[in-house]
């Protein structure tokens, strides 16, 4: 396997009973890359992450993670990956330092005291090292969880919605750490529902109902969506929104502040249908590039229709 490729899987599949949660997924992630994993709840993101780090065995498919076979070397993968779950899983009745020392013991680290001290300083936790984890805010719990992931010097981080419920300042600080780690060659696969976070990734994948619907850079995903978008501002937008939603070619009408975003796949038909409203002097229309949120809502709608 190419040493510049951290994850490469083909045909990755997982079923729970009769339900196929992940369907023949192909994925390739390069070393040092921050790879965003997006999709609605129940789309298979967490299941995929658990298969990659050896917590779940695929029903079908082949691949490697950190040059280890995901089917036969899952125990080795676990020792070289940092996995951060959606829920805070460290001990709330232990201090920050005690939690990190416990994790270091699990990994059998011989120099654990020195490594715990180094990690505390690296993540800005040294001044709070004696504080109970249960008394921390969401942002500081998140920072502690990341510290625990990094303690054993992994080359791959698998982060499952790590910033859910965290304030914007803490989210920004968290992403600064991720980009610093990327510059050091550490690869990150991160699932998120936040579009501003998705835009900070090097590349993205959108998964829905177990199927990979799109992948690439932000620009590539947007340009490949085939979505045409206009904005409109003016008076009485609420009633205009209700009217536009009834037009056959209009896929979505979303309010953004004092504007509406109107999008559809059939650009020619969409333009014909909204033309009468463009001639109304009460409104100001402008053709724009669709936002990442416009594109992902479109993906979600089409995936839902396909699976009805």
Q: Are 48 and 173 in the same domain?
A: yes
Residue 230: count of CB within 10 angstroms of its CB: 20
Cβ within 8 Å of residue 32, ≥6 positions away: 182, 183, 184, 185, 186, 187
Q: What is the pLDDT of residues 77-111, one digit of tens each?
A: 988 999 998 888 899 999 999 999 999 999 898 89
Query: For position 69, what pLDDT does the model report?
Result: 94
Q: What is the pLDDT of residues 21-44, one digit of tens each?
A: 999 999 999 999 999 999 888 889
Instruction: Give the count of domains, the chain.
Output: 2
Positive/negative CA dihedral, 268, 273, 279, 282: negative
Query: For position 308, what pLDDT does the model report?
Result: 42
Cβ atoms 182, 150 nearer than 8 A: no
Q: What is the pLDDT of residues 142-162, one digit of tens each?
A: 899 999 999 999 999 999 988
pLDDT(52) > 80: yes
Query: For position 1, what pLDDT does the model report?
Result: 54
State the distance between the two ends of the chain, measured CA to CA, in whole angstroms.
39
- Using the structure block, give the residue that is written with the tokens 């992902």: 296
Q: Are 218 and 240 in the same domain?
A: no
Q: Are 218 and 235 in the same domain?
A: no
Query: For position 129, what pLDDT does the model report?
Result: 95
pLDDT(234) > 60: yes
Domain that holds residue 212: 5-222
Mean pLDDT for 288-306 is: 79
DSSP-assigned letters across all residues of 54-66:
TSS--SEEEEEET
Q: Are strands 187-191 and 34-38 parallel, antiparallel or unpaired?
A: parallel
Q: Are 184 and 283 in the same domain?
A: no
Structure confidence at residue 306 as a pLDDT band (50, 70, 90): very low
Burial (0-12, 13-18, 19+ Cβ within 10 Å), 132: middle
Cβ atoms 5, 32 nearer than 8 A: no
Percentage of the chain with pLDDT > 70? 97
CATH number of the structural domain spanning residue 237: 3.30.70.920
Mean pLDDT for 261-272 is: 95
Identify whether 137 is part of a domain.
Answer: yes
Residue 281 tokens read as 């002097």
Residue 6 tokens read as 């951290």
Residue 126 tokens read as 């040294």
Q: Are 159 and 251 in the same domain?
A: no
For residues 302 and 216, the model is more confident at: 216
Percentage of the chain with pLDDT > 90? 72
Q: Answer with the one of 222, 248, 273 that is the final residue of a domain.
A: 222
CATH number of the structural domain spanning residue 127: 3.40.50.300
pLDDT(172) > 70: yes
Query: For position 233, what pLDDT does the model report?
Result: 95
pLDDT(274) > 90: yes
């Amino acid at each position: 396997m190419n040493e510049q490729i951290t994850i490469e899987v083909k045909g990755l599949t997982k079923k729970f009973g009769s339900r196929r949660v992940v369907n023949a997924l192909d994925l390739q992630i390069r070393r040092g890359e921050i790879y965003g994993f997006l999709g609605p709840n129940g789309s298979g993101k967490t299941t995929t992450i658990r298969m990659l780090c050896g917590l779940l065995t695929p029903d079908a498919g082949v691949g490697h993670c950190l040059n280890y076979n995901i089917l036969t070397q899952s125990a080795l993968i676990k020792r070289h990956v940092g996995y951060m779950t959606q829920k805070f899983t460290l001990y709330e009745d232990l201090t920050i330092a005690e939690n990190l020392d416990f994790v270091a013991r699990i990994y059998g680290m011989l120099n654990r005291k020195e490594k715990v001290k180094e990690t505390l300083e690296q993540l800005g936790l040294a001044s709070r090292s004696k504080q109970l984890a249960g008394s921390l805010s969401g942002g500081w719990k998140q920072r502690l969880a990341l510290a625990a992931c990094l303690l054993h010097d992994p080359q791959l981080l698998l982060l499952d919605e790590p910033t859910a419920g965290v304030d914007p300042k803490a989210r920004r600080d968290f992403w600064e750490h991720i980009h610093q780690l990327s510059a050091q060659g550490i690869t990150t696969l991160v699932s998120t529902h936040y579009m501003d976070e998705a835009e900070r990734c090097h590349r993205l994948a959108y998964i829905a109902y177990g199927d990979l619907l799109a992948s690439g850079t932000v620009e590539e995903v947007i340009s490949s969506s085939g979505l045409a978008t206009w904005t409109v501002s003016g008076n009485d937008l609420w009633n205009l929104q209700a009217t536009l939603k009834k037009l056959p070619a209009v896929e979505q009408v979303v309010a953004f502040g004092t504007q509406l975003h109107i999008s559809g796949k059939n650009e020619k038909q969409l333009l014909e249908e909204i033309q009468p409203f463009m001639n109304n002097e009460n409104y100001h229309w402008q053709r724009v590039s669709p936002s990442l949120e416009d594109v992902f809502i479109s993906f979600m709608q089409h995936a839902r229709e396909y699976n009805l």
